[in-house]
Structure 1
């Protein structure tokens, strides 16, 4: 027979889980929380690619499908609010041995409202490029509301080199600039396909 303490624990567990947003539940299920962030966002980001696929709730996509910069949509608090968008892979070079966690793929800051094209690109977009035989990688999009327009000290990175992408920390970056908890997010998973060698050539490997 279950004792009172156990019943209380179970009740509290389900109450806490029920309070999570849908995207937070998916992030906990595939361990984006705690591998990338400690606390999940309330809202979904809509992330759609010109190949016709959508990055949503950990769906598996291919590097070929996500090689071009996606369209990312959200409802801004106002046109005077600034946002930061991060795309990061915590599974580099593999989920089993993430020695380069995180390898960030895209970083745009000072985005006015939802005008992504008017933001400051700190790291140009690079699609997924999981090494061969390393299994599925998680590719996580996170949107943060900035307290104001900020001055960022990070080096600007192009999409023709891999230098400076490894060992990024979303948690540390958010803490450094006072970004708090992400307001929206989404993610997909991908593994190696025949496009990856082409991407590696682009990056100078």
Structure 2
């Protein structure tokens, strides 16, 4: 899984269970390359929660991180948190609690390909968290750890995941002007 083990997770989650689609029917497919322009808007993320022991009322957490900041060779900001939604009932992502609003890819020029990882966890209980970071805020996104977040909230290992890669394009400076902090 392209060194995501051990960079982000200890064990690769099943990829076939997490479907991520951007506008124009662009599907995230196990490390395919997409551009920052293509992924600027929040994707449609789906999974089949009924497969989990016949229970479609379980709560889930979805995280999206970039472990390659500012570059894969020098990841001093590992990980950047691009999106976090908790307390998702079943597979109803829009009914979950958004802790960190979605921000698309923005790799700095000349830093090569960055990996963008989606991780889905099944919660054992409701997460009580007051954190909220809007899409225009950088503060609170750097040096995030999916492992530490999962441990703090008793999430265990991810039950599904997927990822794509992206590198700088002309949309990155436009995106960066919208983000402060």
Q: Do they superpose with TM above 0.5?
A: yes
Cα RMSD for the two superposed structures: 1.1
Structure showing greater Rg = 1
| Residues 73-97 of structure 1: CA deviation (Å, up to 9, x unaligned) | 1011333200000000000000000
Q: Number of matched residues?
A: 176
- Match for residue 79 of structure 2 among 102, 117, 131: 102
Segments of 5+ residues of structure 2 without an aligned counterpart are none
Q: Tell me the distance in 1 between the aligned counterparts of 2:42 and 2:102.
A: 6
SS of 1:188's equivalent in the other structure is strand
State the 4+ residue runs in structure 1 displaced beyond 3 angstroms: none
Contact 2:15 2:30 survives alignment (8 Å)? no
Segments of 5+ residues of structure 1 without an aligned counterpart are 1-26
Q: Tell me the distance in 1 between the aligned counterparts of 2:143 and 2:154.
A: 20
Matches within 5 A, 1:23-62: 27=1, 30-44=2-16, 45-62=18-35
Contact 1:40 1:181 survives alignment (8 Å)? no
| Residues 77-118 of structure 1: CA deviation (Å, up to 9, x unaligned) | 333200000000000000000000000100000000000000
Contact 1:33 1:39 survives alignment (8 Å)? yes
SS of 2:174's equivalent in the other structure is helix
Structure number with the higher helix fraction is 1
Taking structure 2 as the reference length, what is the TM-score of the superposition? 0.94
Q: Tell me the distance in 1 between the aligned counterparts of 2:151 and 2:66.
A: 19
| Residues 15-40 of structure 1: CA deviation (Å, up to 9, x unaligned) | xxxxxxxxxxxx2xx10010000012
Q: Tell me the distance in 2 between the aligned counterparts of 1:41 and 1:162.
A: 28
Q: Tell me the distance in 2 between the aligned counterparts of 1:202 and 1:52.
A: 26
Taking structure 1 as the reference length, what is the TM-score of the superposition? 0.83
CA shift at 1:191, angstroms? 0.3
SS of 2:112's equivalent in the other structure is coil
Q: Tell me the distance in 1 between the aligned counterparts of 2:15 and 2:69.
A: 26
Question: Structure 1 residues 77-86 or 171-180, which shifts more?
Answer: 77-86
Matches within 5 A, 1:148-187: 148-153=125-130, 155-187=131-163
Matches within 5 A, 1:8-23: none
Q: Tell me the distance in 2 between the aligned counterparts of 1:99 and 1:42.
A: 28
- Match for residue 111 of structure 1 among 72, 88, 107: 88
Q: Tell me the distance in 2 between the aligned counterparts of 1:42 and 1:52.
A: 22
Question: Is 1:91 matched up with 2:57?
Answer: no
